[in-house]
Amino acid sequence: MADTVRADTVRLDAVSRVYGKGQGAVAALREVSVNIAQGTFTAVMGPSGSGKSTFLHCAAGLDTPTSGTVRLGDTDLTGMDETKLTRLRRQRVGFVFQAFNLISSLTVLENITLPLRLAGARPDKAWLGEIVRRVGLEGRTDRRPAQLSGGQQQRVALARALATRPEVIFGDEPTGALDTMTARDVLTLLRETVDDMGQTVVMVTHDPVAASYADTVLFLADGRIVDVMGAPTSDKIAERMTRLGAWN
């Protein structure tokens, strides 16, 4: 597949995000440009305050850049009103957060199908069965989130993110609340969605081991992409982060 040309799923061109005005203004992103190809797994790392969350929020249509453009496939998000952005996020983007963000009064299956119902789409039973099986939740779909372990809850969140067949899944520290072994299971699942299902995943993380599951690691410092690493290993990532002063 090395000679296959992949389309870009997410594309940022000269994206800047400035919070506040005048003397107190903070440039969280400075002219960031990056293309993220379909069917790839990208990790975003950088010291605290380097702009990782801002990057993710701008790329996912949760925040609007001060300047520059963000594209999802052929769609330019710049200038979209909140109603259109909400629809786009529901139908074309999946999210996995550190805190799982499941609804405690709903069953596992109801949580998984919630984005579909919000988007007014009819759940495709075969597809739901496939993702429930993939994330290893067979036989648990009638439970409530509180009856599941943290790792199982994050699997529900991943299944929920996959339910609408999104063009991209954004993860914000998706393994941040999990113990090491459980985190590895969830990372393996994310990796499999990329390798087996052609999913595109973009994940912010502080953890070099988590980032090593990606194809590419983007390093942010002071609002800029300062390095891009292919074929990452946790040692190479940790060394790069040390040079960025992340752990001083």
Ligand X SMILES: Nc1ncnc2c1ncn2[C@@H]1O[C@H](COP(=O)(O)OP(=O)(O)OP(=O)(O)O)[C@@H](O)[C@H]1O
Q: Does 48 bind ligand X (CB under 6 A)?
A: yes
Q: Which residues of 153-167 are buried (b: 16+ CB within 10 A; e: fewer)?
A: bbbbbbbbbbbbebb
Q: Does 26 bind ligand X (CB under 6 A)?
A: yes
Segment interacting with ligand X (CB under 6 A) among 46-54, 132-140, 147-155, 240-248 = 46-54
Determine phi and psi for 16, rounding to 5 degrees: -120, 145
CB of 244 closer than 8 Å to CB of 219: yes
Distance CA 5, CA 26 (A): 38
The distance of closest approach from Cβ of residue 239 to ligand X in the complex, given in angstroms and rounded to an integer, is 19
CB under 8 Å to 151, separation ≥6 — which residues? 178, 182, 183, 185, 186
Q: Does 20 bind ligand X (CB under 6 A)?
A: yes
Q: Does 52 bind ligand X (CB under 6 A)?
A: yes
Q: Does 25 bind ligand X (CB under 6 A)?
A: no
User: Between vectors from CA 114 to CA 127 and to CA 54, what angle results, nearest 5°?
Assistant: 100
Distance CA 124, CA 100 (A): 23
Distance CA 203, CA 206 (A): 10
Q: Does 53 bind ligand X (CB under 6 A)?
A: yes
Q: Does 51 bind ligand X (CB under 6 A)?
A: yes
The residue from 40, 42, 54, 141 that contacts ligand X (CB under 6 A) is: 54
Binding residues for ligand X, how many (CB under 6 A)? 12
Q: Does 9 bind ligand X (CB under 6 A)?
A: no
| Site for ligand X, residues 157 to 176, rule: CB under 6 A | none
For ligand X, the closer of residues 48 and 248 by Cβ is: 48
Q: Does 187 bind ligand X (CB under 6 A)?
A: no
Q: Does 28 bind ligand X (CB under 6 A)?
A: yes
CB under 8 Å to 105, separation ≥6 — which residues? 144
For ligand X, the closer of residues 46 and 61 by Cβ is: 46
Q: Does 49 bind ligand X (CB under 6 A)?
A: yes
Q: Does 19 bind ligand X (CB under 6 A)?
A: yes
Distance CA 205, CA 2 (A): 27
Q: Does 123 bind ligand X (CB under 6 A)?
A: no
Q: Does 205 bind ligand X (CB under 6 A)?
A: no
The distance of closest approach from Cβ of residue 218 to ligand X in the complex, given in angstroms and rounded to an integer, is 12
CB of 76 closer than 8 Å to CB of 155: no
For ligand X, the binding residues (CB under 6 A) are 19-20, 26, 28, 46, 48-54
